[in-house]
Chain A
């Protein structure tokens, strides 16, 4: 069963612009994680935010979490060509199960 649902499914922006991806989920979580996947490769962990946190930063990444709306967003600032990838949110429930969304495909245009 899918828990996290990313929005939009695909996003194309010009290099240098900011990219925002959203994730909505249905049930209570312990933490929420964002991953990046380059084509044909495995996933790379980007950032983890716990249910009692509202915002976290890591370099050009900013993640917010709103547990009342059951949603999270990932902001990538000053995008680069190397940011072209699929981005997945994954929720970890109180039963320790992790569930991945279907991802947002981000394409950075030169």
Chain B
């Protein structure tokens, strides 16, 4: 079955440490997205990529970095510069641009906590 796989499901970060969250899709989608969700809140866009080797900052990109070396993969690094990283991180993909009426497909998330 096609879908989006996020790993790990739970992740703990020590102070001053960078951690990388994995996101892989086998849906042959061009666009991929990373969101952050805090308790009782909606999703906030961190980064998105519409094509390989290209990505754009979302609303809350500070303290995060991404890469898109392969169509299937869009890893997110939470750097030590992100002072409040505890959250639920969701990766999503869509076939084409959302403006064309494309739904997003989501992974099951990674919950990141601070030790």
Contacts and interface: CB of A to CB of B under 8 A. Distances in A.
Interface of A: 1-2, 4, 30-31, 33, 35, 40-45, 48, 50, 88, 92, 94, 96-98, 100-103
Contact of A2 (B35, B42, B98, B109): B42
Contacts of A33: 103-104
Contacts of A41: 108-109
Interface of B: 4, 6, 35, 40-45, 59, 90, 92, 97-99, 101, 103-109, 111
B99 A30 contact: yes
Of A42, A45, A101, most B-chain CB atoms within 10 Å: A42
Contacts of A45: 103-105
Interface of B, secondary structure class, is mixed
Nearest to A105: B40
Nearest to A6: B42
Nearest to A88: B42
Contacts, number: 58
8 contacts: A4-B42, A40-B108, A42-B106, A43-B106, A92-B98, A96-B97, A96-B98, A102-B41
Given A41-B108, A42-B109, A102 B42 contact: yes
Given A31-B101, A42-B90, A42-B108, 10 more contacts: A4-B42, A30-B99, A30-B101, A42-B4, A42-B6, A45-B104, A48-B103, A97-B98, A98-B104, A100-B44
Contacts of A2: 42
A88 B43 contact: yes
A4 B42 CA distance: 9
A94 B99 contact: yes
